[in-house]
């Protein structure tokens, strides 16, 4: 039975046959298709001589009827900034109704009551749905590092005759039915250059070359048991392969150059995927979730209305913050919103003090707004700027010259960044848990043994950036360099900035020595070089402890975390070797 025949049979189960013309109108198929389908369905004994569904047809409906639904709602929804800092995407309201509640109600309307929701980010906000709608929650603990393929894998035991639904969909008409006869994946009639598939004449979903345009992928799917078993097998294989950590569950539907399910095409106006703040605004400009603190701050700071804030685009998620780019009155800005656990890591009053001191000195980017209480910050976007390439010697020379010029100003603030106190502080944030590294105690002891040498060789202390890493040096179109992100800045030995640059760039010792030579213009005394090695060890342990805290919040940094711990161990050994040779 093909899709057209299934559609005709489904219509006849809902409404008795009157004539072919009416059936054509209700099914959406041409009169010729309707006549052909009726003939074939009679031949296969799904319809009797009076064009009524037979017992065989009713048995087919019973065997393939929807049994349950899985809603995927674990992710950050990063493109929804600034909304996603206050609410999960699934709980955004359209016309006063949360997206996920609308989906649940539409499922209930067709008799699907067995619903499980895979949650992760802000999972506690979904708890009320258990009592309100009788759903089951499945927690994806790895939502920050894996995509929804992992979410579906966690719920794979529930796959049977199942609807699979993304949480960010708003459907004008109910997309679900009491009766389904085949597996399908929903796409719209809208052409989307980011789509991987298009619908061919056989109603199959075939792959298209990247960026050549296909049918926009809505994401709702229905799987009958046969296809569910195949998807389940692939989920188990893919989920155990780190290559698929960032994959969407749709990867399991592809076989050769097409999906293993049929297409279900809907009009783009009837189903809306809400990925951004502006898409929500287009759908419901009165939505309560448009009343964001961040948007209100922007409007007040720039003296504009909310509607003047356009082209909102999430920037790459930083290690500490979430930031987004936006336009207002033909000018671009960046707004920073602090990330998970940031209030524990950074003193925003001290940061504001630093920005007040360096404002107007052409050291940093131009600040339009900074809140010393919550860390919200608005800066002017430097059009056409680029970050430092840590492998480009010319870039390094320019950045180290900028750093030297800044250090020589010997600016003073009322707070310090004490590396060894911060190591202890970040460790305290583990709440009594031991390190994930088995030799942490010995590594920490070795690093702290370097403190005496450091203290004996500090020549001066002044305002130091602390986070002077390649990504924070911006080369502007006018030939200037701006040093951004002063969250950790405080009084410290300025040579710490050299060590920080090296460990963020993941430099080996040869590259470390090259950067030291560039900063000191080939005039670095041996004892200062050794001191910088000490800082590399100490700062490596510092950021390793920082990563361990962030890890407890569900934020992973992969190789970066492991390499920081290696710096702590390796550069302690290097310092010991250097000191032994100098005796």
Higher-scoring residue by pLDDT: 484, 553: 484
Residue 311 shares a structural domain with residue 345: yes
Is the residue at 283 inside a domain?
no
Structural domain contains residue 161: yes
Q: How far apart are CA 456 and CA 227, in angstroms?
A: 70
pLDDT-based confidence at residue 456 (cuts at 50, 70, 90):
very high
Average pLDDT, the chain: 89
429/572 same-domain check: yes
Nearest to 388 by CA among 455, 463, 472: 472
Q: What is the pLDDT of residue 37?
A: 82
Sorted by sequence, the CB contacts under 8 Å of residue 54 that are 6+ apart come out as 45, 46, 47, 48
- pLDDT value at residue 554: 67
Are 57 and 120 contained in the same domain? no
Whole-structure pTM value: 0.67
| Residue 218 near residue 266 (C-beta atoms within 8 A) | yes
Q: Which of 43, 63, 83 is the last residue of a domain?
A: 63
Structural domain contains residue 418? yes
CATH code at position 520: 3.90.1200.10
Mean pLDDT of 354-363: 90
Of 27 and 216, the structure prediction assigns the larger pLDDT to 216
Among candidate residues 335, 365, 381, the one where a domain is terminated: 381
Residue 287 lies in a domain: no
Task: Round to whole Å and give the CA distance between 236 and 230.
Answer: 10
Give per-residue pLDDT as tens, 401-420: 999 999 999 999 999 999 99
> What is the pLDDT confidence band of residue 77, given thresholds at 50, 70 and 90?
low
Among the residue ranges 101-115, 268-282, 369-383, the one predicted with the least confidence is: 268-282
Q: Which one has a higher pLDDT value, 121 or 528? A: 528
Q: To 10 degrees, the CA torsion angle through 441, 444, 446, 447? A: 180
pLDDT digits (tens, 9 = 90+) for 234-275: 999 999 998 999 899 999 999 988 999 999 988 888 888 887
Q: What is the pLDDT of residues 135-159, one digit of tens each?
A: 999 999 988 788 999 999 999 999 9
**How far is residue 575 from each of residues 142, 451, 481, 572, 582, measured CA to CA in Å?**
38, 12, 33, 5, 11
Angle at 178 between CA 173 and CA 184, to 5 degrees: 75
Q: Is residue 285 part of a domain?
A: no
pLDDT band, residue 319 (cuts 50/70/90): very low
**Host domain of residue 504:** 384-582
Q: Tens of pLDDT along 275-297?
A: 777 677 777 666 666 667 788 88
pLDDT tens for 526-581 read: 999 999 999 999 999 999 999 988 887 766 677 888 999 999 999 999 999 999 98
Same domain for 451 and 564: yes
Q: Is residue 111 part of a domain?
A: yes
Same domain, 214 and 298: no
CA dist 294 and 287 (Å) reads: 15
The answer to whether residues 34 and 115 belong to one domain is: no
**Which residue is associated with the tokens 């504001």?**
352
Helices 419-428 and 440-448 pack at an angle, to 10 degrees, of 160
CATH number, residue 317: 3.30.200.20
Q: Are residues 480 and 345 in the same domain?
A: no
CA distance 192 to 406: 48
Is there a domain that residue 284 lies in?
no
Q: How far apart are CA 450 and CA 271, in angstroms?
A: 62
Number of folded domains that form the chain: 4
Q: Which residues of 38-54 are buried (b: 16+ CB within 10 A; e: fewer)?
A: bebbeeeebbeeebebb
Q: Domain ends where: 364, 381, 398?
A: 381
Q: Is the pLDDT of residue 463 over 80?
A: yes
Q: Are residues 475 and 534 in the same domain?
A: yes
């Amino acid at each position: 039975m093909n899709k057209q025949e299934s559609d005709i049979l489904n219509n006849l189960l809902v409404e008795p046959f009157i004539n072919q013309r009416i059936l054509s109108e209700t099914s959406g198929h041409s009169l010729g298709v309707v006549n052909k389908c009726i003939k074939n369905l009679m031949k296969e004994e799904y319809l009797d001589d009076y064009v009524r569904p037979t017992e065989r047809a009713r048995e087919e409906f019973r065997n393939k009827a929807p049994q349950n639904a899985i809603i995927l709602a674990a992710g950050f929804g990063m493109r929804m900034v600034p909304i996603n800092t206050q609410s999960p995407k699934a709980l955004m309201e359209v016309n006063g109704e949360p997206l996920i509640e609308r989906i649940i109600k539409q499922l209930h309307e067709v008799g699907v009551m067995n619903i499980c929701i895979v949650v992760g980010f802000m999972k506690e906000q979904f708890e009320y749905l258990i009592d309100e709608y009788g759903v089951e929650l499945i927690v994806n603990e790895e939502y920050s590092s894996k995509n929804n393929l992992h979410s579906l894998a966690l719920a794979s035991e529930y796959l049977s005759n199942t609807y699979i639904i993304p949480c960010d969909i708003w459907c004008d008409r109910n997309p679900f039915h009491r009766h389904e006869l085949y597996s399908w994946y929903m796409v719209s009639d809208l052409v989307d250059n980011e789509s991987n598939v298009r619908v061919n004449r056989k109603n199959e979903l075939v792959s298209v070359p990247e960026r050549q345009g296909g049918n926009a992928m809505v994401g709702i799917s229905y799987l009958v048991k046969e296809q569910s078993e195949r998807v389940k097998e692939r989920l188990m294989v893919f989920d155990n392969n780190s290559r698929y950590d960032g994959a969407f569950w749709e990867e399991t539907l592809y076989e050769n150059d097409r999906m293993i399910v049929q297409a279900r095409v809907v009009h783009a106006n009837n189903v809306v995927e809400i990925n951004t703040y502006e898409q929500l605004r287009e759908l419901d400009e009165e939505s309560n979730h448009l009343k964001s603190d961040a948007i209100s701050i922007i409007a007040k700071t720039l003296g504009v209305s909310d509607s003047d804030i356009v082209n909102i685009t999430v920037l790459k998620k930083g290690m500490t913050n979430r930031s987004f780019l936006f336009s207002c009155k033909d000018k671009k800005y960046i707004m920073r919103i602090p990330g998970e656990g940031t209030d524990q890591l950074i003193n925003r009053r001290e940061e504001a003090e630093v920005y007040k001191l360096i404002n107007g000195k052409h050291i940093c980017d131009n600040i339009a707004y900074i809140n010393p209480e919550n860390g919200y910050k608005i800066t002017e976007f430097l059009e056409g700027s680029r970050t430092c390439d840590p492998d480009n010697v010319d870039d390094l020379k320019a950045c180290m010259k900028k750093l030297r010029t800044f250090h020589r100003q010997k600016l003073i603030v009322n707070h310090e960044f004490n590396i060894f106190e911060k190591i202890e502080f970040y460790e305290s944030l583990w709440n009594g848990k031991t390190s994930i590294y088995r030799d942490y105690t010995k590594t920490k002891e070795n690093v702290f043994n370097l403190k005496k040498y450091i203290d004996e060789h500090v020549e001066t202390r002044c305002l130091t950036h602390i986070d002077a890493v390649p990504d924070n040096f911006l080369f502007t179109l006018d030939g200037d360099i701006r040093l951004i992100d002063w969250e950790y800045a405080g009084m410290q030995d300025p040579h710490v900035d050299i060590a920080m640059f090296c460990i963020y760039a993941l430099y080996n010792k040869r590259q470390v020595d090259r950067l030291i030579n560039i900063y000191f213009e080939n005039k670095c005394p041996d004892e200062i070089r050794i001191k910088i090695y000490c800082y590399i060890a100490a700062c490596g342990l510092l950021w390793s402890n920082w990563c361990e805290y962030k890890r407890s919040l569900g934020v992973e940094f992969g190789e970066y975390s492991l390499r920081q711990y290696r710096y702590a161990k390796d550069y302690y050994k290097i310092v010991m070797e250097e000191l032994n040779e100098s005796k």
